[in-house]
Amino acid sequence: MRGPHNIWRLIRTGATFEKTGAMAVVLEQVDAPASLRVAARVLGWPFKWLGYSGDPKLPPVTRALTALGPSYIKLGQILSTRPDFVGSDLALQLRILQDKLPPFPTAEARKMVERDLEMPIDQLFSEFSEPVAAASIAQVHQARLVGDARKVAVKVLRPGIARAFARDIDAFYLAARLIELLSPSARRLRPMDVIAHFDATVQQELDLRTEAAAAGEFRANTTRDDGFSVPQIDWALSARNVMTLEWAEGIQMADIDGIDAAGHDRTELANRVMQMFLRHALRDGYFHADMHQGNLKVAPSGDIVALDFGIMGRLDEYTRRVYAEILMGFIRKDYRRVAEVHFEAGYVPADRDIDQFAQALRAVGEPIFGMDASRISMGRLLAYLFEVTERFGMETRTELILLQRTMVVVEGVARTLNPHMNIWQAAGPEVERYIRENLGPRALARDLAKTARVMARFGPQLPQAVEDALRGVDRSRHETPRGPALQPVLWMVGGGAIVGAVWAAISLL
């Protein structure tokens, strides 16, 4: 969909940002260079009359993005996960961006359900309500199943949303290219990668089968977590444009008065929100990356119920260990170890001074730990840490920024429940448990066992490899280089020896 419409869309975007006052805010927050400021003004000021006015009650940036439509609302939400790109203050503003739009007609939703599930809707649901929630990509209806009358939530994509997003994403790519062209310093932040990440995230959300799979995986991981639940997906009533899952009764996490009236312990809920997030991120490497109050409920039983699985985060095992060691280093005020972990992981270039880096980390941690417990902020710590690592040449790592952003949101939810919460006391037990189970002797034995299993798979190839190598050496007896021919054999023999040693070590543990 490349073409002149992208330029027109950028002009309309610039005009809207200019008309709402968002242009000046954005340029200031990202500390834009002169060339980028000039280009933004050229796209905005002369065409200001073409811009959308938006809701004057909203802050400028939120007002502009909301006026421009679903794609821009979703882009704003994604950019709120990238404080490295838009700045901490603007990221904070974008986090409160309201993902609420007027619902589309229920009659259209019913038609889409029938088309996707290939059955008349009356044969599927005995009741199908008006929309109970409407967002940028989809809306939700409450329904009852035919037969057992179970209450379910039916999520339906907005008609034509895929085409609308495809059109706008093309314009976003053009804007990212212009930013890289006009601001070489911005290339370190990889604007094209930011839009590619947005594109990939949206593509997942535009196929509700992907969200259903995410919910299923998350539910499987958390089934044994007391006090936390995930609704079950009804796969028979889910397809590309429709997702059906059990209805979650409960009080919205933002309804503090309702939580108090129901007799729930807010202090315990606050601790559990933080601990569950850390448990899922560290233990499973798969966490809910959009845990704001609107996506959390408190069930009558007191369980925390998670909803909306369009944005999920994933961490590989090594990154989880690094992250846990960094958190534990700060909890113990062992800044030298935090610095070593950054260097060992390759997050900071090896040519930088580790002692200076440790000193900079101390300057980050000590002021925060000197605060009253109710003011100790993990989000503030991670924001300061990002500033330090940027100064020492650490490259942007999207998965860690998503983790940071989610932790800040979770911290906000927890403090809403308990303003006097000590975040570090709540986080400590989960981090310590993970380190105890994954960085001690048992973890070493598990790692060695995994290595042994991988290497053992090559065992059947060893005899033939030896024979082929020896024949190669015999043929080339008068041509010196024996090393390369024997390297596979030596590797295999060495591997066999290691396998034996590993299993011997495991048997002694």
So which residues are the catalytic ones? 290
Q: Within a 13 Å sphere around the CA of 416, how many CA atoms are in the beta-carbon half?
A: 18
Is residue 4 classed exposed, middle or buried when 0-12, 13-18 and 19+ CB atoms within 10 A define those classes?
exposed
SS3 76: helix
Find tokens 């340029």 and name the residue. 27
Q: What is the DSSP string of 180-211?
A: HHH-GGGGGG-HHHHHHHHHHHHHHHTSHHHH
Neighbours of 489 (CB within 10 A): 18
For the chain, how many residues are written?
509
C-alpha of 159 from chain center: 26
Strands 251-252 and 304-306: unpaired
Q: Are 373 and 423 in contact (CB under 8 A)?
A: no
H helices of 96-207, in order, are 106-117, 161-182, 191-205
C-alpha of 201 from chain center: 10
Strands 304-306 and 228-229: parallel
The structure tokens listed for 34 are 């002169």
C-alpha of 26 from chain center: 23
